[in-house]
Structure formats: structure tokens, C-alpha cells
Amino acid sequence: AAAMAGEALSRVPDVQIDGGGVFKYVLLRVRGAGAPAKDVVRGHGWAEYHADLFERTAEELARHGLSCECLGGGRLAHRPEERKIHVYGYSVGFGRADHAVTTEKLKAEYPDYEITWADEGY
């Protein structure tokens, strides 16, 4: 079971965010049975609430035998024409994500971007 969970976990993208705009994001810790956990970033403009992102992702993961917990949320300002992403704000329901962790994940996914973060702002 652990090997299968590990394989399912390895197929979960570290980052899934919209291609541009300002939108909410959540930082999630994904787990499989007996497998190590990994943190992933999900951010989309369709989400009215941080919980929408969490619930949709949890449903998708459950189909692969994985579970997740929300470590917090915030907002992303993604400006592809400037190759910039700014991470800021917080989630009323889940609290503030560790933006430093989110920034590292985004840097791995967008190596040619300037990625910044700040604890202030909503």
C-alpha cells in the first residue's frame, strides 16, 4: 500500500495555479497510506473561498487514495507578462499559509520568474 501511495503522491503536481490574475491559494499537505507527505500549492480564480480550493483538491486526491490537510491560505498576484508572482494575505478560515514554503514551490515551477512574498495585505 505504501508503494502505491508513494506512486500516487509522486503524480500529484506540486503547483497548480491560474495562468494570470489575482486569486486565492491554499497550501496543502498531501498524504498517502504509509507514504511521506508533501506540500502542494493550489490557486484558482474560480474559487470564491479558500475552502472551495481545499474541498475540490481533497475530492480529487481521495479518488487516488490520498488525503490532505490545509496548512493555510493567501492570495497570489500572477503577472505572466512581467514574469512575476507575489504571494500575500491570508485565509480567514484556514489562517495564513507559510508564504516562504509557497514561494519555494513556485520558484521550482517558475524558475525564470521573480517571486516575492509579504505577510501584510489581504
Catalytic residues: 50
Number of Cβ within 10 Å of residue 44's Cβ equals 18
**How far is the C-alpha of 98 from the C-alpha of 82, rounded, in Å?**
24
> Is 107 annotated to bind ligand?
no
Query: DSSP per residue over 18-46, as a string?
Result: -SSEEEEEEEEEEEETTSPPEEEEEEETT
Radius of gyration in angstroms for the set of CA atoms belonging to the chain, rounded to a whole number: 14
User: Which residue ranges make up the annotated binding site?
Assistant: 24
User: Which residue ranges make up the annotated binding site for substrate?
Assistant: 24
